[in-house]
Structure 1
């Protein structure tokens, strides 16, 4: 885990617990413009690519930033419309929450925007989602037992009351909390080590042929379905709540079938809170370029990086912006055509 140092003011804010709420090698040639290799959290080096997309660093940018990966927990219901900030995200993970609804974990590293949201609460499921990126969570809070588990896992978080959070009076609570990520990042001082790659990145030319699949329906327990259509240059979320022009630019949709357990408590409405078990192994469906490649995902423990494979061997994700669907293996479903 990379070192994280918070100002005293931020530490005080972050202690206000809320109840559960709803490139290539270096060259001496003057014509070589390939970016230098970057330091990685584990002490080794990787080519100058962004850790959450695998895309190359351009110009004078660096894949080693002076802030951690920020993960904003965002509402994903009709009441959240319009969602702000998804177009700036490197990657998004959609996870099951109580009542058969879903919530988004939007990852930001390359581009730290202003307001994102609506910001909602954390779940224990987030431990396995954010840990591999050494991420800091931006949240409205969480239930007491979730806060305890998040702290035990060593995951830093900022919640309402910290710098950058504000309520939008034109919206109804609890769907009116937003966070200015530029302000949040300014309150964090840490070593500028490049995080490890979140996914096993590869190139477009090495992506297996697979089978045609231009529409996707990822159905979560309880009936919520996220629909995707491939439109030649990427995937469009047909039922997004994102503001017009602020949609996530998905190059790839990665569906992982996961086990889901009981978090052990109820939400304020009396619904059991589910917990995605993001460890072990399961079925993976990798959609890219209007094609589907079937495989298996594996994650040894909550902090481990995700690996993908097929019967032929290792499976890489083409570099780009990826939306990950954590669909329950037992009660969820995935259809495509």
Structure 2
């Protein structure tokens, strides 16, 4: 019996020693904080920065190209606009002559044919900088090119890979690009841009008020009209072809200050410059209703922040059309 107890004691002691030694071993790499953080990130659904929508299985939100912003003509001469329906997000801005131009954002998909491509404005600095976008343009006035370069914005103009003239159209409304070819000019590591808007869920929106018809007027010139139909907003006076119109889930109208860019266009019209920083009133149209709030941008490169009197305001994930409506001379009307 004594020998049996002694043997048991030795076995237990040996087990304790081995357990103690085991505690000095390094934890497997999978248990490290870095590995755990990576695993948690992998389990978190990826979302697209320009829509807030979930990335489909098998795809990645980190592309090997930056956000591409194409300047598209928005006059009757542009009809039909091509590739607008594949944009992730669109910003409409005032240019000279009371007309508007579109900044069409592409990232989750890059179409093969887009246009007509038109020129940049200094207003674009505040529009594209928050996501480090590269611009696709027909060019710009020398003063604008200088300011775009000073802002550190990459741009591609006619003559670069992908650009071509459409023989069935008249200049200057015949410049198009194969955007996928133009995107191949940029070699960079895969990197996801930051979110362009503060994304959220529709359930988080305040109740607001009914609003199914919208008119955004730009300083006595062009007016863009929208109707809420079949769960989304339809641009009633779009210059895009049927089936290629931008499918807006949300229309976000931001009232902005407009200054003078300091030069005139070839027709002698003063060129306006949207000041896209500071703060102003915001009108968020979603699901047939309007939520009022304010927007702010602490600098041209800063992201857009939205608030109501109750606190931060998020935008339901989806495709968004942003109207930069002049505070003076512009107007946003709506009805039930």
TM-score, normalised to structure 2, is: 0.87
Q: 2:231 matched to 1:233?
A: yes
Q: Which residue pairs with 1:170 in the alignment? A: 168
Provide structure 1 residue ranges, at least 5 long, that are not aligned to the other structure: 1-34, 39-44
Q: 2:293 matched to 1:291?
A: no
Given candidates 244, 261, 279, the residue that maps to 1:246 is 244
Q: Which residue pairs with 1:216 in the alignment? A: 214
1:99–1:222 CA contact under 8 A, matched in 2: no
**Distance (Å, rounded) in 1 between the aligned partners of 2:44 and 2:158:** 36
**Distance (Å, rounded) in 2 between the aligned partners of 1:104 and 1:300:** 23
The number of residues matched between the two structures is 297
Larger proportion of helix: 2
Given candidates 65, 68, 71, the residue that maps to 2:66 is 68
Q: 2:118 matched to 1:120?
A: yes
Cα deviation, 1:130-156, whole Å, max 9, x if unaligned, reads 000100000000000000000000000
Q: Which structure: larger Rg? A: 2
Cα deviation, 1:221-263, whole Å, max 9, x if unaligned, reads 1321000000032000000000221010100000000000000
2:121–2:140 CA contact under 8 A, matched in 1: yes
Given candidates 221, 244, 256, the residue that maps to 1:258 is 256
Q: Which residue pairs with 1:82 in the alignment? A: 80
CA displacement at 1:208 relative to structure 2: 1.3
**Distance (Å, rounded) in 2 between the aligned partners of 1:264 and 1:47:** 46
CA displacement at 1:36 relative to structure 2: 7.2
**Distance (Å, rounded) in 2 between the aligned partners of 1:240 and 1:136:** 25
2:282–2:292 CA contact under 8 A, matched in 1: yes
Which portions of structure 1, spanning 4 or more consecutive aligned residues, are displaced by more than 2 angstroms?
35-38
CA displacement at 1:292 relative to structure 2: 0.2
Cα distance change, pair 228–36 in 1 and its aligned pair in 2 (3 A): farther
Q: Which residue pairs with 1:158 in the alignment? A: 156
Q: Which residue pairs with 2:130 in the alignment? A: 132
Cα deviation, 1:177-226, whole Å, max 9, x if unaligned, reads 00111101111101211000000000111111100000000000132100
* Other structure's SS at 1:335 match: strand
Given candidates 145, 148, 161, the residue that maps to 2:146 is 148
Q: 2:49 matched to 1:54?
A: no
Q: 2:204 matched to 1:206?
A: yes
**Distance (Å, rounded) in 1 between the aligned partners of 2:180 and 2:256:** 33
Provide structure 2 residue ranges, at least 5 long, that are not aligned to the other structure: 1-38
Q: Which residue pairs with 1:310 in the alignment? A: 308
Q: Which residue pairs with 1:21 in the alignment? A: none
* Other structure's SS at 1:149 match: helix
**Distance (Å, rounded) in 1 between the aligned partners of 2:181 and 2:40:** 29
Tell me how large the CA RMSD over aligned residues is: 1.3
TM-score, normalised to structure 1, is: 0.87
Q: Which residue pairs with 2:298 in the alignment? A: 300
